[in-house]
Chains A and B, each alone.
Chain A
Amino acid sequence: MTPDVGPREAALRVTNLHKAFGSLDVLRGISLAAHEHDVIAIMGASGSGKSTLLRCINLLDVPDAGEVHVRGELIHMSFDRRGQRTPANPHQVDRIRTRLGMVFQRFNLWSHMTVLQNIVEAPIRVLGVPRRRAIEQADHLLRKVGLYDKRDDFPAHLSGGQEQRAAIARALAMEPEVLLLDEPTSALDPELVGEVLKVIDDLAAEGRTMLIVTHEIGFARAVSSRTVFLHQGMVKEHGPSRQILDEPRSERFRRFLSGGNWGRPALTTPSQTGESETP
């Protein structure tokens, strides 16, 4: 995929990303760009490197080659004494990470903190937002994701869907420029998927820039502007979601969409995501 060079700086631009774990080449030259308000769905079989791609973007994994720009700012890399590629400036990485919200498959809420504490922690400690303002903002976000009544509960006392909504609120509290979501619903019981998809749908409607790894084909069609299909470490297919999800060009993607090579049936049909007649 050639990076599309837009008139404006892309919110996020990934160029020629490579990552191997030992002899396993997971990413073999991935490029993509997300402009402001883009919602990009990332699909691919299990093990195709979707999580690794997101983790390389915020440097939880260090890519072996390639560049990441966040609104034009390049994350600088260098090599350590043993010749390992490593961020040149850890402070830059920390700062960039505050601009990239991350939502994990398994939520990863801090279990010793209440929902509210989870949400205000990084704004207060990392961004230096005054406590009162952080709490006001957290309460606003909690209402938005429908968790205000759970604000003083600990994560262990929430359902999976509630945990994931809390995790989304936690990411939003950083006011990130781009939100990275790694299979936000695949650890949830089927009946809890809808409530989380609804929240993400609302974010898309607000014009949030998002990269969403998902297996929910109906959801991707309804919510994402573009879809990227990863196969064997490369972008096998990409394009406007409606177009390529309805008419996949490659045989590989067609098989993936029909569930042929994917052990799990798609959980959600467009009607289940409900309120998403808007595009």
Chain B
Amino acid sequence: MTLDLHGYGWMLWRGLGLTILVGLGAMGLAVTFGLIGAWGKLSRYRVARWLADTYTTVIRGVPELILILLVYYGVPTLIQDLAASAGRDLRVDLNPFVAGIATIGLIYGAFATEVFRGAFQAVPRGQIEAARAFGMGRVLMLRRVVLPQMWRFALPGLGNVWMVLIKATALISVIQLEELMRSADIAARATRLPFTFFFAASLFYLGITIASMLIQRRIESWSYRGAPRGQS
């Protein structure tokens, strides 16, 4: 059985490309937020800990769809209101591509925060002490001993975050970005063949996931060089 896409195949492929772009951008942002968040959670400073806890609590407590709508419609309004109160007339439109990446990144940054926090704590204390005992300063120790090992512990968790994140990009179809989900939706309406197009879209998502798993396995086996055998 072949899937007849009635000439809308190119649209799905274009949507796939956009989904992957949004996914990669959001993942990059999530990793950044995650590192900052984990640093905050493990910080000596109470303010930093409090900020990081608030971040993860809010993200976990509010549905993703609402966060997306809040960012897309709320942030421009907020900026305009602020400008207005300063006596300026400002018209802000958020690009859905940017808004999508920002929101998905922000949301999954909270999950990455937990992943990184666990990974930092999994770096054996003794190895950190050895670094200190050899006269390494904080930055050198972080760069040469903590981060390289932290990644090894973080990779499986980050792989999970990526898998969930790429599926969550379907949510940003609500802000009119023609990624995979929205493209399928448009095609389904035009042809009145919802099953065909949503089924095709699901195969695309599955394809991304399978490809991701293969890549992840590669990266992990590379990063596990030298890890105790039981761990790899």
B229 within 8 A of A: yes
Inter-chain CA distance A157–B229, complex, in Å, is 8
Residues of B within 8 A of A91 (CB): 137
Inter-chain CA distance A161–B144, complex, in Å, is 25
Cβ of B135 and Cβ of A108 under 8 Å apart?
Answer: no
Inter-chain CA distance A96–B226, complex, in Å, is 31
Residues of A within 8 A of B225 (CB): 112, 154
Residue on A with the closest CB to B227? A156
**In the complex where A121-B144, A126-B140 touch, is A111 in contact with B132 (Cβ < 8 A)?**
no
A193 within 8 A of B: no
Minimum distance in angstroms from A70 CB to a CB of chain B = 12
Contacting A at CB under 8 A, from B130-153, are 130-137, 140, 144-145, 148-149, 152
Residue on A with the closest CB to B125? A108
**In the complex where A60-B129, A154-B226, A155-B226 touch, is A111 in contact with B149 (Cβ < 8 A)?**
yes
Minimum distance in angstroms from A16 CB to a CB of chain B = 23
Interface residue from B127, B136, B148, B226 paired with A108 (Cβ < 8 Å): B127
A110 within 8 A of B: yes
Residue on A with the closest CB to B225? A154
Cβ of B134 and Cβ of A98 under 8 Å apart?
Answer: yes
Cβ of B127 and Cβ of A114 under 8 Å apart?
Answer: no
Contacting A at CB under 8 A, from B53-77, are none
Inter-chain CA distance A98–B145, complex, in Å, is 17
Classify chain A's interface size. 20 to 34
B124 within 8 A of A: yes
Cβ of A125 and Cβ of B226 under 8 Å apart?
Answer: no
**In the complex where A110-B130, A111-B127, A112-B149 touch, is A122 in contact with B136 (Cβ < 8 A)?**
yes
Contacting B at CB under 8 A, from A84-129, are 90-91, 94-98, 100, 102, 104, 106-114, 121-122, 125-126
Residue on A with the closest CB to B152? A112
Q: Mark B107-143, 1 if CB is under 8 A from A, else 0.
A: 0000000000000000010110111111111001000
B7 within 8 A of A: no
Residues of B within 8 A of A157 (CB): 226, 229
Inter-chain CA distance A90–B129, complex, in Å, is 15
Cβ of A174 and Cβ of B134 under 8 Å apart?
Answer: yes
Residues of A within 8 A of B226 (CB): 111-114, 154-157
A241 within 8 A of B: no
**In the complex where A104-B130, A109-B130, A111-B127 touch, is A126 in contact with B228 (Cβ < 8 A)?**
no
Cβ of A60 and Cβ of B135 under 8 Å apart?
Answer: no
Q: Mark A117-143, 1 if CB is under 8 A from B, else 0.
A: 000011001100000000000000000
Interface residue from A102, A106, A111 paired with B227 (Cβ < 8 Å): A111
Residues of B within 8 A of A100 (CB): 133
**In the complex where A111-B226, A112-B149 touch, is A106 in contact with B134 (Cβ < 8 A)?**
no
Cβ of B126 and Cβ of A106 under 8 Å apart?
Answer: yes
Residues of A within 8 A of B132 (CB): 60, 97
Cβ of B148 and Cβ of A156 under 8 Å apart?
Answer: no
Inter-chain CA distance A114–B133, complex, in Å, is 19
Cβ of A108 and Cβ of B126 under 8 Å apart?
Answer: yes
Residues of B within 8 A of A273 (CB): none
Interface residue from B126, B127, B133, B227 paired with A58 (Cβ < 8 Å): B133
Inter-chain CA distance A126–B149, complex, in Å, is 20
Residues of B within 8 A of A154 (CB): 225-227
Residues of A within 8 A of B131 (CB): 110
Inter-chain CA distance A254–B130, complex, in Å, is 34
Contacting A at CB under 8 A, from B21-42, are none
Cβ of B124 and Cβ of A108 under 8 Å apart?
Answer: yes
Interface residue from A110, A121, A122, A156 paired with B228 (Cβ < 8 Å): A156
Inter-chain CA distance A111–B123, complex, in Å, is 10
Cβ of A110 and Cβ of B127 under 8 Å apart?
Answer: yes
Inter-chain CA distance A157–B227, complex, in Å, is 9
Cβ of A94 and Cβ of B136 under 8 Å apart?
Answer: yes
Minimum distance in angstroms from A129 CB to a CB of chain B = 13
Query: Can you show 7 pairs from A to B with CB atoms below 8 A apart?
Result: A90-B137, A110-B130, A111-B127, A111-B149, A112-B227, A125-B136, A170-B134
Task: Identify the 9 closest CB pairs spanning chains A and B, nearest first.
Answer: A154-B226, A108-B126, A98-B135, A108-B130, A122-B134, A102-B133, A97-B135, A156-B228, A94-B135
